[in-house]
């Protein structure tokens, strides 16, 4: 009987530790869309560091987007921005104030205070073309071009998918406040042939 009680206590402690780790330190996520191809495929699974703090440009973040991302035609907090894009268009620099219940995963391309414009899907940060080897180019269609620079507000992060032509991201619904960030993806564990650090 004593052995059974010890086993039950050990299992209970192990389950509690696993739940605490997932809730506060490391959380797994499944990639739901092609927006991060070729870096992450649909169905691929990643681990997220929930203690990572403020992300840097190039980090892959899991987060809740603004409520404007919940619609088939995303909504920017400033109706004169976002939209379908174009060489003289501005990406959205003001999200809607409500947090969405959805969970997204994208790459950080702009941090607080940065000036961002997008030309042919490529990011110009503070006037300099970012050296990005990972994105799938999306060409010169309107949604790939937001040629008029915007400034990222304090405490916000501008997110884009690596598959620039097939990503619903900050271009359309705005930057993400730091309080809606969940964590930084740092490791992929499924499928087995893609295991490794990000």
Q: Does the annotation count 179 as an active-site position?
A: no
Among candidate residues 35, 100, 143, 170, the one labeled active-site is: 35
pLDDT per residue rounded down to tens, the chain (198 residues): 776 676 556 655 544 444 445 555 688 999 999 999 999 999 999 999 988 778 999 999 999 999 999 998 899 999 888 777 888 899 999 999 999 999 999 999 999 999 999 999 999 999 999 998 877 878 778 889 999 999 999 999 999 999 998 999 999 999 999 999 999 999 999 999 999 999
pLDDT score of 16: 46
Q: Strands, DSSP E only, in 64-195?
A: 86-90, 104-110, 115-119, 122-125, 128-129, 146-151, 156-160, 176-177, 181-190
Known active-site residue 106: yes
**Catalytic-labelled residue, pool 94, 100, 106, 167:** 106
Q: What is the pLDDT of residue 1?
A: 73
Q: What pLDDT is stored for residue 184 in this prediction?
A: 96
Say how far residue 187 (Cα) sits from the centre of its chain. Answer: 15
Contacts of 133 (CB under 8 A, 6+ apart): none
Residue 2: φ, ψ to 5°: -60, -40
In DSSP terms, 61 is beta-bridged to 106, 184
> For strand 104-110 and strand 60-63, is the pairing parallel, antiparallel, or unpaired?
antiparallel
Q: What is the spatial distance between Cα 158 and Cα 95, in angstroms, rounded to a whole number? A: 11
pLDDT for the residue 135 = 77
Q: What is the largest CA-CA distance in the chain?
A: 76
Identify the pLDDT of residue 99.
97
């Amino acid at each position: 009987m004593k052995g059974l009680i010890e086993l039950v206590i050990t299992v209970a402690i192990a389950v509690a530790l696993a739940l605490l780790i997932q809730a506060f330190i490391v959380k797994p996520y499944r990639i739901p869309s092609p927006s991060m191809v070729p870096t992450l495929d649909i169905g691929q699974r990643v681990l997220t560091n929930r203690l990572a703090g403020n992300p840097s440009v190039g980090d892959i973040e899991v987060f809740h987007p603004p409520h404007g991302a919940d619609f088939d035609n995303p909504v920017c907090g400033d109706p004169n921005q976002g939209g379908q894009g174009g060489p003289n268009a501005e990406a959205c620099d003001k999200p809607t104030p409500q947090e969405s219940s959805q969970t997204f995963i994208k790459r950080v391309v702009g941090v607080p205070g940065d000036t961002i414009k997008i030309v042919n899907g490529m990011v110009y940060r503070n006037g300099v073309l970012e050296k990005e080897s990972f994105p799938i180019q999306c060409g010169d269609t309107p949604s790939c071009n937001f040629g008029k620079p915007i400034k990222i507000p304090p405490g916000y992060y501008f997110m884009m998918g690596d598959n620039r032509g097939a990503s619903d991201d900050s271009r359309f619904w705005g930057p993400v406040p730091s309080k809606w960030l969940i964590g930084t993806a740092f490791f992929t564990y499924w499928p087995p042939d893609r295991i490794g650090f990000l």
